[in-house]
Amino acid sequence: MDTNEYLQKILESQTLSTDSGELKDLQKHRADIEEVLRKKFSESSPTIRYGGSKAKGTMIRESYDLDIICYFPHDDKAAGETLKDVYNNVYKSLSERYLVEPKSSALRIKDRDPKNYNVDFHIDVVPGRYTDDSRKDAYLYQASGEKERLKTNLDIHIKHIKESGFTDAIRLFKLWKVRNGLRVKTFALELLTIESLKGSRLSNLSLQLEYVWERLRDDIKEISIEDPANPQGNDLSDLLSPAIQLELSSVATKTLEAIQNSGWEAVFGPVEGESKDKKSDALRRAVVSVTTPTKPWFDDL
């Protein structure tokens, strides 16, 4: 098979089908979590819906998370006077049933049943409050940083990624991130991919990947990203710190060298259905190309 056929097969192997056990578990937990929130905040009528990779169409089997947004009306006080109060009250309500791990703006949901204690459900609940009656822009609480709030717009984020024309490339870059244990946030990697490919007119998937890796290798300091939901108000510079830039550039360099010396299987491994010997060889070469330990799950919004 040619390179693009190979990459499509890798994408197929990373796709969670609608009847997959993983997706069914996510949907069940999502329904249970929504029930808890609606009962607790019945006076507030929050908007509860999918966000993240599920909504963007960029989910991969090897590292999947489900973002559930829980946004309250802008003039609602029943859920809390301040954004911090809203965040803490959602945390308390979920903690009655789940083990909840606070993150910067989200709440990670895990099992508190002694039989499955601390088992990760791969679900983040993101509390927020709409800025006005239009229910478009919303403020999220930020536990870190100078400001305690972040203005965002879920629909703009979803549209920016989903309609970019590069969702296949983004999914493969997410797999590349996981396989190499990269610390870059998924949101930053999505924006980097789109920004790098913008105006390139490359429709060939393998050429898109190589082009972005070349940009990361040669021009990482020249690539800037901005939040499409709030370009002037949200500073994303921390997502591309010098250390992250160096890591991206270094691993991109090694990835391009691996492709040149050993082929694409050195990056993404074998496709399903290949012989045992060929799989073992491809996996060995893929492991050699990884420069840092693989982390199974990442702290991303």
128 plus 40 within the same structural domain = yes
In a domain, 11, yes or no: no
In a domain, 38, yes or no: yes
Q: What is the CATH number of the domain that holds 125?
A: 3.30.460.90
In a domain, 76, yes or no: yes
33 plus 106 within the same structural domain = yes
From 121, 153, 185, the end of a domain falls on 153
174 plus 276 within the same structural domain = yes
146 plus 165 within the same structural domain = no
75 plus 138 within the same structural domain = yes
Report the alpha-carbon distance of residue 290 to residue 267 in Å, rounded. Answer: 8
From 98, 131, 153, the end of a domain falls on 153
113 plus 36 within the same structural domain = yes
Distance in Å from the first CA to the final CA of the chain: 36
Report the alpha-carbon distance of residue 190 to residue 69 in Å, rounded. Answer: 20
32 plus 136 within the same structural domain = yes
In a domain, 265, yes or no: yes
List the structure tokens of 98: 């789940």
In a domain, 9, yes or no: no
Average pLDDT over residues 265-279: 73
Find the largest Cα–Cα distance for the chain: 63
In a domain, 228, yes or no: yes
185 plus 127 within the same structural domain = no
Q: What is the pLDDT of residue 300?
A: 46
Find all residues with CB under 8 Å of 18, minimum gap 6, and list them.
none
From 153, 169, 201, the end of a domain falls on 153
For 56-95, the pLDDT digits (tens) are 999 999 988 899 999 999 999 999 999 999 999 999 999 9
**Global pTM?**
0.86
Report the alpha-carbon distance of residue 35 to residue 70 in Å, rounded. Answer: 12
Rg (Cα) of the chain, in Å, rounded? Answer: 20
29 plus 142 within the same structural domain = yes
Structural domains counted in the chain: 2
3-state secondary structure of 60: coil
227 plus 255 within the same structural domain = yes
Confidence of residue 282 (pLDDT cuts 50, 70, 90): very low
32 plus 137 within the same structural domain = yes
- Weakest mean pLDDT among 51-65, 135-149, 266-280: 266-280
Please state, in angstroms and as integers, the Cα–Cα distance from residue 216 to each residue in 19, 44, 52, 247, following that order.
37, 45, 24, 10
Confidence of residue 292 (pLDDT cuts 50, 70, 90): very low
Cβ-count burial 192-208 (b if 16+ within 10 Å, e if not) = bbbbbbeeeebeebbeb
Q: Which domain holds residue 99?
A: 21-153
- Residue reference for tokens 């610390």: 183
Report the alpha-carbon distance of residue 244 to residue 248 in Å, rounded. Answer: 6
Find all residues with CB under 8 Å of 171, minimum gap 6, and list them.
11, 14, 58, 59, 60
In a domain, 260, yes or no: yes
139 plus 169 within the same structural domain = no
Q: How many helices and strands, by DSSP H and E, does the chain display?
A: 11, 7
For 190-243, the pLDDT digits (tens) are 999 999 999 888 989 999 999 999 999 999 999 999 999 999 888 888 899 999
Report the alpha-carbon distance of residue 91 to residue 99 in Å, rounded. Answer: 10
In a domain, 16, yes or no: no
